[in-house]
Structure 1
Amino acid sequence: MKTNRIRVGIIGLNPDSHWASASHIPALKFLADDFEIVGVANTTHESAKRSSEAFQIPFAFHNADALINSPEIDLVIVTVKVPYHFELVKSALESGKHIYCEHPLGNGLEETRLLAEMAAKKDVLAVVGTQMVVAPEILYLQQLIKDGYLGKVLSTTLIGSGGNWRNETVADLYYLHDKANGASMLTIPLAHTLAGVTSVLGSFLTLNSKMTSNFTTVKVLETGEVKPKTAEDQIMVIGTLTDGIAISVHYRGGISRGTNLLWEINGTEGDIQVRGGLGHGQLVPLSIFGARGTEKELQLLKVPVEIMNNFPENPIAGNVARIYKLLADDIRNNTRNAPSFNDALQLYELLNNIELSAKNE
């Protein structure tokens, strides 16, 4: 029997590991009334068949073009490595399909701009996966500030650990250390977190930055091979946001024995701390602590049940599911509430400004 579910095709799905199997599959299954996973395409047909069998997906396409151009697919999902985003997204847009591409949308500002301009000319929904902007903790922060919990916001500080980008790596993640691949500490953990920060406090008005490296090589743990490392492992930014809010940011590679994510917001009437286990604000549970007025110590501020809204508790699947729900509603109601390619462009313009400032420092 024919249903009105949105038929999904995923490009880049591995049953053994990686992002799509841990996030997109459980998110789509959670929203089974809205979506039907119809097809998969990987680097090889054999890999696609293995994924289709593992996840009980009807069609294993011979290649990405076959999936993109199939009449069985309404929505194309791109979850491959960043250097392959541009051509796949471009092909999907040219085919007239709705698309959800993981962030970074393009490898650099120019690719991102071209895709955003192309999407603007098409009558399709083009969504980017900046998951932190839909996290329930971020929605609650927006509400707290709107309701005057902090009074006038004065300043904010952000400290985060990238997890990778030190002097050791596993072979599968070495590509993160080659800046040419567009998957650096700047463009992944810091970018995702800045998307969340600016959705709460507004855009950057001014900034100065410095980007440095403690390590110029990285050892591949499986083989002991030492390879070049060109992606920076220390990023510092100071500046001002909307309404003159002062901001200071420091991201560092690896994991800290101390703080791995601490975002503090200070106002005339109160203070808030957001804490997490890793500097990927889109991937980890966030805890919000606050105090205002005569209160002397921070207290845990629990996200209201109505904001959690019964989505999966694990943020890896839950935040992706929230984007998919917005996407489904946008397709059916001709609205535009899911993070868009234009949002991706604005974020990459910020990243580009951080890089330009660091070069001119």
Structure 2
Amino acid sequence: MTQDKIRIGIIGLKPDESWAGVAHVPSLKLLSDDYEITGVANSNLESSKAAAEALGIPNAFDNADALIASPDIDAVTVTITVPQHIKVVRAALNAGKHVYCEAPLGNGLAEAEEMADLARSKDLVAVVGLQARVSPPVLYMRKLIAEGFVGRVLSSSLSGWGGNWGATASNISRLGYLLDKSNGATMLTIPLGHTIAAVCDVLGDFTEISAMLDTRVRNVKSEDDGQILEQTAPDQILVTARLEQDVPLSIHYQGGMPNGTEGFVWDIHGTDGDLRVTAPFGHSQMAQLSLSGAKAGDGELKPLEVPETYCEGLTADPVPGNVARNYARMAKDFRTGNRAASTFDDAVGVQRVIDAIERASESGARVHLEPRDRPLPLNAKDHLA
């Protein structure tokens, strides 16, 4: 890559509908000094042309391989279903293209490890979309804990609603595959997976895990046409764990949306105070997070305003903002050789925890892990006040 702007090709883009359309395209437009979207590839040329025309993208390709082979593409954004990730990512890396892949990186730990090993061997910038890690409230909470706001962390608890994986589901043609656990795109790997990445940055990596995964709703009614679909993905996730510094953690995620209660609550209790993060639902990577805290003796939690610097010069809106913060770090990684954005190796760390949760649930035994988490810099320059 010799030109100033990074030329991005997006695989899996439907304007105003797909995640690429509502999050990646707006994010890249916020970073127009760093990126130019120069190509799109969908499942067929007609769909690619429609997306390109709607968004003013100069090149439409009839498949992913054609986009990857194009000399007009420096980096490939992969926003297709999880089972398709490994083939496309492997092809892009082997072609010498840098990659931004949505999380989870692979359908299981082995696929993630293969892609991370390949990216490392090719010495390419390989970024995964673990954007909850760069959410401003999460970054600020990390700073508060490091500065001793809660004192010594005694424990943490986390509960969330998955949004999907409940009694009903919509947009089945695009999202129905989430109900099948064999596809690797479940409540465990998506909303909880993103949240696990943030937990590790804030409190340290997992060292011990016990878990129970259960599917309580096995028949899901489609809101689109009323048909009944089978669900094999877990809609109940219960985890007890120990983190570094011996911090105990409890987790409960469940499918669907809450009825009159908060959809996401993350509490951190310490010797000198408490912190709480709340949101309407459990996708911490795209929900609007609210941070509150109290020092010992205060008697009640009070809202904590996140300083503007933690937005890193980008919108606080979490959908385009968090993705844009990841892309901004990726652009700096291109130019500096650093790793300020979430890497494929970071994705492997998250999938190690997910794999351990699955093994603990299957065996009923406690699973032990060696800490390997790499906390992100607080920002690309690591100098936030």
Give the TM-score, by structure 1 length. Answer: 0.98
Q: Distance in 1 between matches of 2:101 and 2:224?
A: 31
Distance 1:167 1:294 in 2: 43
Provide the aligned C-alpha RMSD in A: 1.1
What SS is found at the alignment partner of 2:249?
strand
2:284 to 281, 286, 308: 281
Aligned to 1:261: 264
Aligned positions of 1:56-75 closer than 5 A: 56-75=56-75
> Where in structure 2 are the equivalents of 1:181-220 lying within 5 Å?
181-220=183-222
What residue in structure 2 maps to residue 324 of structure 1? 327
1:52 maps to 52
Contact 1:96–1:123 at 8 Å: present in 2 too?
no
Note if contact 2:16-2:22 (Cα within 8 Å) is conserved in structure 1. no
Q: CA deviation at 1:3?
A: 4.8
- The amino acid that maps onto 1:105 is L
Residues 89-132 of structure 1: CA deviation (Å, up to 9, x unaligned): 00000001110000011111111111111111012100000000
Partner of 2:379: none
Identity among equivalent pairs (%): 46
Partner residue in 1 for 2:356 = 353
For 2:208, the aligned partner's letter is T
Q: Distance in 2 between matches of 1:11 and 1:250?
A: 34
The number of aligned residues is 360
Aligned equivalents of 2:236, 2:38: Cα separation in 1? 42
- Counterpart-to-counterpart distance in 1, 2:114 and 2:323: 25
Q: CA deviation at 1:221?
A: 2.4
Matched, 1:295 2:298: yes
Could you tell me which amino acid in structure 1 is paired with residue 29 of structure 2? Answer: K
Q: Could you say which residue in structure 2 is the equivalent of 1:78?
A: 78
Partner of residue 4, structure 1? 4
Which amino acid counterpart does residue 267 of structure 2 have in structure 1?
E
Query: Which digits, 9 at most, give the CA deviation of each residue in 1:122-146, with x for residues without a partner?
Result: 1210000000001111110110011
**1:161-200 deviation line (CA, Å, top 9, x unaligned):** 0001012212232111011111100000111111111110
Greater mean deviation of Cα atoms: 173-182 or 148-157: 173-182
The aligned amino acid for 2:183 is N
Per the normalisation by structure 2, the TM-score is 0.92
Q: Which amino acid aligns with 2:22?
A: A
Letter in 2 for 1:28: L
Distance 2:181 2:159 in 1: 22
Tell me whether 1:272 sits opposite 2:275 in the alignment: yes
Unaligned runs of 5+ residues in structure 2 are: 365-385
Q: Describe the superposition over 1:198-217 as per-residue Cα deviations: whole angstroms up to 9, x where unpaired.
A: 11000011110001121112
- State the alpha-carbon separation in 2 of the partners of residues 198 and 16 from structure 1: 32
2:231 paired residue among 229, 232, 235: 229
**CA distance in structure 2 between the partners assigned to 1:124 and 1:76 by the alignment:** 12
1:89 lines up with 2:89 in the alignment: yes
Residue type at the aligned position of 1:275? T
